[in-house]
Amino acid sequence: MSVRVPGLPELSWTHGEGDVRVVDDTLILTSAGHVDWTNDATGRHPFQHAATSLGFAVDGDFVLSARVRVPGRRTTFDAGALTLWSGPDHWAKLCFELSPQGEAMIVSVVTNRYSDDVDSTVVADDHAFLRLARIGEAYVFHSSSDGRTWRFVRLFRMTTDGPFAAGLMAQSPLGERCVAEFADIRFEERTLLELRDGS
């Protein structure tokens, strides 16, 4: 089954089919319980069971952004995320996630065999804007409170030539489910020129 959202290429499920609704221009993903993507750097067994992940093939430079909201009560690590997927050893995600301290945060994970996991900004609002872009052979993550001024999160490469799919995901590693809403979704085939000036 494929999913259509205004402004995006046709979306397909990355890991089996999950629970999805499209209301006006908002994509609503509901994860099952105990689903996540992680290749723990300590060497624990990789865990990639987030069925609620939709993506589309990307080739060349692009910019993908969305306003992400996770309504209701959240369990630790519940998140809505933008994703980049090439295979089980090469993927990345930029998350609006609940920390173990009960704070909503911007969290990024980049996996080249093992996952490099970084906590970034604490978010006071009930939503965050997330952005994923490709520039040549590199990728960049940004976050924003208003969708206009962007805060640099990280710049990285993947140790594979792909192919890659960009997408959106809901995860609930410890809980019974997580609902993630993606609105103001934008996809542009263009090169992001400035990475650290807020644009």
Structural domains in the chain? 2-188 (2.60.120.200)
Mean pLDDT of all residues in 31-47: 85
Q: How far apart are CA 63 and CA 186, in angstroms?
A: 8
Counting beta carbons within 10 angstroms of the beta carbon of residue 9, is it exposed (0 to 12), middle (13 to 18) or buried (19 or more)?
A: middle
pLDDT of amino acid 35: 84
Q: How far apart are CA 47 and CA 159, in angstroms?
A: 20
Mean pLDDT in the chain?
A: 93
pLDDT for 29 beyond 80: yes
For 16, phi then psi, to 5°, come to 75, 175
Choice among 26-35, 98-107, 144-153 with the minimum mean pLDDT: 26-35
Q: What pTM was estimated for this model as a whole?
A: 0.95
Choice among 26-30, 36-40, 50-54, 154-158 with the minimum mean pLDDT: 50-54
- In angstroms, what is the C-alpha Rg of the chain? 15
